Amino acid sequence: MTQEKETEYKAVRGLIRGLELINTLSHNGGELSINQLSQQSGLHRTTVRRLLETLQQEGYIQRNSSDGSLYQLTLRVRELSEGFRDEQWISAMAAPLLGNLLQKVLWPTDLCTLDGDAMLIRETTHKFSRLSFHSAMVGRRLPMLYTSVGRAYLAFCPDEERENILNLLAAREDEEGALARDRSYINRLMDHTRKAGYGENYAHWRVENRIAAIALPIHNQEHLLGCLGLVYIAKAMPIQEAAKRYLPMMRETVDQIETRWRQFEAGDPSALILAP
């Protein structure tokens, strides 16, 4: 008996079309008529009507109470994204932008978010950069006090959050814990990072002592969404030269991520379109 392959299963056309209608509504203000949906989706009016009735029955679409000819999305559509946390949203938005940045800087870049007492790589171009000697980086946790992204996050996050992170680190019985308890060292590190305007690491992390890195914070008003870091081989250039070469292009990418996030929070669905 031969085993069935995934390709032997046919796509469920009705499901595909229903999702297409939800997507069309989402990208057009969340409210359209049957004729408009038919024109924009390319589906026949009868098919659109049948799909709308199903989606309405399941609670994802409803008729406009003022104009019954218009169909609109309901709050239940948002339930589809409830399992998607902010960190996942931001990495989804940033992925194409990091791809564009790679074409300019060549060295790999990482988008990292806070993960308790470390920075977690959410998105990266390591696997695409010819200058990278790492491949599987997504999901890797990076130390706060030895890496550029960790230092940038600590320097530019709110004071209360910084204290909470440092307290977590100080409770650890390792070298990073000892550094976190040395407030003189922490103050010097924070002052240096804020004065520079970016986080830096020039072979300071013994585990990765061949590399250097620079990082910028990604802001959401007074809070941080994460940090964008660029990694390169330390012998290639000093930190100051890397900052001069690459920070302007990194700042452009950070600005784009922050702009998309503001659009996303304002309810603009175009922020999630992967094409930058």
- Tell me the pLDDT tens digit for each residue of 167-219: 999 999 999 999 999 999 999 999 999 999 999 999 888 888 899 999 999 99
Domain with CATH 3.30.450.40 in the chain: 86-272
Looking at residue 110, what is its pLDDT?
93
CA angle 82, 229, 252 (to 5 degrees): 85
Q: What's the sign of the alpha-carbon dihedral 76, 221, 92, 270? A: positive
Please return the burial class of 86, using the count of CB atoms within 10 Å of its CB with bins 0-12, 13-18 and 19+.
Answer: middle
| pLDDT surpasses 90 at 25 | no
* Residue ranges with strand state E in 194-266: 199-202, 211-220, 223-233
Which H or E run contains 267? none
Position 81 scores a pLDDT of 53
Mean pLDDT of the chain: 85
Give the 3-state secondary structure of residue 2: coil
Q: Give the pTM.
A: 0.69
What single-letter amino acid sits at 263?
Answer: Q
pLDDT, position 1: 40
Instruction: Specify the residue for token string 């997507």.
Output: 23
- The residue-averaged pLDDT of 84-106 equals 79
Rounded to whole angstroms, how far apart are CA atoms 146 and 213? 10
Contact 169, 154 (CB under 8 A): no
CATH 3.40.50.2000, domain 6-79, yes or no: no
CATH of segment(s) 86-272? 3.30.450.40
Asked if 141 and 115 touch (Cβ cutoff 8 Å), the reply is yes
Q: Enter the tokens of residue 275.
A: 């094409």
DSSP 46: H
Question: Look-up: residue for tokens 């103050």?
Answer: 187
pLDDT, tens digit, 9 for 90 and up, residues 48-88? 889 888 888 888 888 876 667 888 877 676 656 544 455 66
Instruction: State the span(s) of the chain assigned CATH 1.10.10.10.
Output: 6-79
